[in-house]
Structure 1
Amino acid sequence: MGKRMKGVTFTRQKRWYDEHKKYVGSEYKPFWFVEDIQSSGIKVKVAHFKHIYRVVHLLSINELFMYLLLAWDQDVVELYEQWALPLDVTVNIAKDENIEHPIYRDTGVPMIQTIDFYCIRSDGEKCAYAVKEKSALDKKRENEKLKIQEEYCLKNGIYFEKVTSDELKTVKCKNLERLYRHSKLDPWLVDVFKIWLSNFVGELSENQFDRVAHTLHTSSMQTGIPYQTAASFFYFAIWKGLLDFDWNLPLVLEMAASDLKLFPNYEYFSF
């Protein structure tokens, strides 16, 4: 059941905020759930890239694509979506910047602001990303709201970046969407995967002009696994960077490896 959005008070928001901030890591709960947002746009839930029992709530197709880019980034060690900012701080920032703080229209109560994605990188750097349609950045009011987020991040040592839809609605992101369901490998399959990868790379080096599907079939026969398992291994290897290709092209198995510019990435083969 979603949050009750009529008659929102400071007290109710504080309860939401306190509940949100109680959880980190594998138990994290976003400030906004998919069920809270009443719109006809695309909203999705996906499994977290690291915490297998955590559900990620994404409120647009642009957020989905941004999430996939961050999940694919090997330097990102933690990722929080719909990350709430403390209301008293954002109200003061708005005042200092001479910006009207967003409010609930029926009560006039200032509204808690959230950043689409807050992440921590392996070197400890903290980053925040605001995802918007490109056309939205032409609107003064949208930029004012983003200014509040940006100033909060500046004051707290957090790198802040605005990412627009034209940067996200790409062939690369659509490829990542296809790969994501194969982004994890069951521990009991690791040894089999290593054997398959060796077989696949051997076939790839000798048959660059064959369709990738044919090379997958041959490598599956050599490894003694079903074709679908080999295909899943292939997508996992792409996701992990063990295999690479021209990301500006759709990842179509009926294409020749030479056309996809598919090649093994040996620097990652310590997997």
Structure 2
Amino acid sequence: MPKRQRGMTKNKIERWLKEGRGQGIGVDYKPWLTVQDVPSAGRSHREIGIKTPRQFTFFSDLENRYFHILEYSASVIDIREQYPLLPIEETIFIADDLGIKHPTDPTTGENVVMTTSFLITITQNGQNRLLARTVKSSSELDSKRKIEKLEIERRYWEKQGVDWGIVTEYEINRLLADNIKAIRNYYDLKICGLFEGISDRQIQSYLSQLTRELCGDLVVVRNICCRFDEKNGLEPGSALALYKHLAVTRQLDVNIINEPLELAKPVTIKLLEYKKVQTGVEII
């Protein structure tokens, strides 16, 4: 059986374009690169989005953490990862104009299509706006060659009239990203496996009851949730799942930005105000 060709060629670029890579929005978007296309990617991740239920692809822990923050932000309405800088002739022209070498495939020597980590659509003052963000470790910015490629990318987005920027580990709130990761899988309670056979109406009733019991000063979430499970004859852990759903859907004012998500220590929980829901997490 012939080995799968890893190197980039003009035919492969044309084939990927015909496959719809780098095209579409929302659930129809297909990233330009997949994990299979970048075998050297060390810490790759694939996961299903909660706002946009499709598989997302990331090539580093930093990209994955930044995605969690983007997805949680109320202002973000679409996320397109591994977005291609097309047409390729545009980046080739920019590289020539700068007097630097355009990125090429090490196997075939062909020019490769450059990508940006994220093309983000946000809503701001009633208008949709695009942001392009490249996620890099700060150590990568010490490389002259990396800087050259980033300059090609910067000029590409400048020509497109799109705000472009670099995001490093210093701009990513790891605590926030970790807290979001701990609650994001409870966005849809139907897929968490704890409420099979329970109607949507009953789940909503449980959510309303639990909200009333949780809101207050110096409450211990784990204790309240354990009692709630026992009182309602629910499987252990069900009320914690409800709590995490209320947090990730922004129905409760839970401080996940600069404090660990505490379950066993006293915390203050309030209903989330409408303005805070609309503002959300600021996008860097």
TM-score normalised over the length of structure 2: 0.82
Does 1:79 find its partner at 2:79?
yes
In structure 1, what residue type is equivalent to 2:77? V
CA contact (8 A) 1:199 1:222 kept: no
Relative to structure 1, the CA distance from residue 16 to residue 221 in structure 2 (aligned partners, 3 Å threshold; closer, same or farther) is same
Partner in structure 1 of residue 243 of structure 2? 234
User: Where in structure 2 are the equivalents of 1:162-181 lying within 5 Å?
Assistant: 162-168=166-172, 170-181=174-185
Instruction: Give me the whole-angstrom Cα distance separating, in 1, the residues matched to 2:276 and 2:62.
Output: 32
Q: 1:95: how far off?
A: 1.7
Partner in structure 1 of residue 160 of structure 2? 156
Q: 1:3: how far off?
A: 6.8
Please, which of 213, 231, 247 is the counterpart of residue 203 of structure 1?
213
Instruction: Give me the whole-angstrom Cα distance separating, in 1, the residues matched to 2:232 and 2:100.
Output: 63
Q: How many residues align?
A: 263
Q: CA RMSD in A?
A: 2.7
1:120-146 superposed Cα distances (whole Å, 9 cap, x missing partner)? 123320111100001112222212211
In structure 2, what residue type is equivalent to 1:162? I
Instruction: Give me the whole-angstrom Cα distance separating, in 2, the residues matched to 1:144 and 1:17.
Output: 26
Partner in structure 1 of residue 282 of structure 2? none
Q: 1:152: how far off?
A: 1.4
In structure 1, what residue type is equivalent to 2:220? R
Partner in structure 2 of residue 246 of structure 1? 255
Relative to structure 1, the CA distance from residue 98 to residue 18 in structure 2 (aligned partners, 3 Å threshold; closer, same or farther) is farther
Q: 1:193: how far off?
A: 4.4
Q: Which has the higher helix share?
A: 1
CA contact (8 A) 1:199 1:223 kept: no
Q: 1:194: how far off?
A: 3.8
Higher-RCO chain (CA-CA 8 Å, sequence separation at least 6): 2
1:192-236 superposed Cα distances (whole Å, 9 cap, x missing partner)? 444334323332345x33421012233445556444222122112
In structure 1, what residue type is equivalent to 2:131? C
Q: 1:36: how far off?
A: 1.6
Partner in structure 2 of residue 265 of structure 1? 272
Q: 1:158: how far off?
A: 1.5
In structure 2, what residue type is equivalent to 1:44? H
Relative to structure 1, the CA distance from residue 251 to residue 22 in structure 2 (aligned partners, 3 Å threshold; closer, same or farther) is closer
User: Where in structure 2 are the equivalents of 1:87-166 lying within 5 Å?
Assistant: 87-122=88-123, 123-166=127-170
Structure 2: runs of 5+ lacking an equivalent: 192-197, 278-284
CA contact (8 A) 1:17 1:84 kept: no
Residue identity (%): 25
Q: 1:169: how far off?
A: 6.0
1:166-199 superposed Cα distances (whole Å, 9 cap, x missing partner)? 3336111111111121123449865444433432
Instruction: Give me the whole-angstrom Cα distance separating, in 1, the residues matched to 2:137 and 2:233.
Output: 47
* Secondary structure, aligned partner of 2:139: helix
